[in-house]
């Protein structure tokens, strides 16, 4: 149930300490709707933290103890999807809010920033398309934790962007968050994007990868 979650917690502490140390005056300037950039920044940091704490609890609880199924029956996966979706959508929205609050603090030629942001969106959009078209939304949500016996013998996806990498979502889809920061020329939004992108790999190595090996066995190697 808690396999490698100690490493998850330790990595989170290190990442939080890192962003706190980097959060200087330029990162804190600005405000939105009467709230300071500092408020929006830590709110945006809190969203992925909440997301990546809730998901392992539900995943592991269902995989090892069928908690969601026992409590909600056939609607367990649907309820989990709703919770996941709210937290997932909150990630880019929170970066946007930080970007608006802290806009024009990045000392970079706007034309160059917008071009770079657009270029980052290309693999991000294609990565999301590959997830939807080839990987499957339910599988991306983690339905294999709810139905491991069905997914045990299913092959790993090798189409779309998955033809070139086993993890198109974490490597490329998260580039969209960087594009948001560049679009608003916001140092704080870029720092939030960096935290999101680094922290999702903590989730992968200390939650998702052990679960993949548990569900798929030798085929995961």
% residues pLDDT > 70 (the chain): 98
- Predicted confidence at residue 118, as pLDDT, reads 98
Positive or negative torsion for Cα 178, 183, 187, 192 = negative
Q: Number of folded domains in the chain?
A: 1
Region of poorest pLDDT, from 8-12, 105-109, 147-151, 207-211 = 147-151
Is residue 160 pLDDT above 60, yes or no? yes
- Mean per-residue pLDDT, 133-144: 94
What pLDDT was estimated at residue 95? Answer: 98
Lowest mean pLDDT among 13-17, 96-100, 161-165: 161-165
Report the share of the chain in percent with pLDDT over 90. 90
Q: Provide the whole-model pTM.
A: 0.94
- The answer to whether residues 196 and 2 touch, using CB atoms and an 8 Å cutoff, is no
Instruction: Quote the tokens at residue 93.
Output: 């929205």
Burial 160-179 (b: 16+ CB within 10 A, else e): bbbeeeebbbbbbbbbbbbb
Per-residue CA distances from 109 to 27, 113, 179 (Å)? 18, 6, 15
196-205 mean pLDDT: 98
Residue 218's pLDDT is 54
Residue 154: predicted pLDDT: 81
Which range marks the domain in which residue 148 is found? 5-220
Q: Is 29 helix (H, G, I), strand (E, B) or coil?
A: coil
- Packing angle of the helix pair 76-101, 37-65 (nearest 10 deg): 160
CA 131 – CA 198 distance, rounded (Å): 20
Convert the pLDDT of each residue in 96-131 to its tens digit: 999 999 999 999 999 999 999 999 999 999 999 999
Tally of CA atoms within 13 A in the half-sphere of 152 that contains its CB? 7
Cβ-based burial of 8 (10 A; exposed 0-12, middle 13-18, buried ≥19): buried
Q: Looking up tokens 């199924």, which residue turns up? A: 69
Report the mean per-residue pLDDT for the chain.
95
β-strand pairing of 31-32 with 35-36:
antiparallel
pLDDT tens-place string over residues 24-81: 888 999 999 999 999 999 999 999 999 999 999 999 999 999 999 999 999 999 999 9
pLDDT above 60 for 220: no
pLDDT score of 155 = 82
Nearest to 181 by CA among 124, 113, 84: 113
Residues paired with residue 31 on neighbouring β-strands, in sequence order: 36
């Amino acid at each position: 149930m808690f396999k490698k979650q100690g490493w998850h917690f330790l990595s989170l502490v290190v990442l939080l300490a890192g962003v706190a140390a980097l959060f200087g005056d330029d990162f804190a300037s600005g405000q939105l709707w009467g709230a300071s950039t500092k408020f929006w920044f830590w709110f945006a940091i809190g969203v992925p933290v909440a997301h990546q704490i809730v998901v392992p609890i539900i995943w592991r609880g269902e995989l090892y103890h069928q908690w969601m199924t026992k409590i909600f029956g056939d609607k367990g996966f649907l309820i989990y999807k709703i919770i996941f979706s709210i937290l997932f959508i909150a990630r880019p929205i929170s970066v946007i809010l930080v970007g608006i609050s802290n806009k024009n603090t990045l000392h970079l030629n706007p034309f160059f920033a917008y071009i770079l942001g657009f270029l980052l969106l290309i693999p991000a959009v294609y990565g999301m398309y590959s997830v939807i078209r080839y990987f499957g939304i339910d599988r991306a949500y983690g339905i294999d934790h709810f139905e491991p016996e069905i997914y045990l013998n299913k092959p790993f996806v090798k189409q779309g962007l998955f033809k070139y990498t086993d993890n198109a979502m974490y490597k490329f889809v998260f580039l969209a968050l960087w594009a948001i920061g560049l679009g608003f020329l916001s140092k704080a939004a870029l720092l939030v994007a960096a935290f999101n992108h680094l922290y999702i790999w903590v989730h992968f190595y200390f939650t998702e990868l052990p679960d993949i090996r548990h569900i798929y066995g030798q085929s995961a190697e």
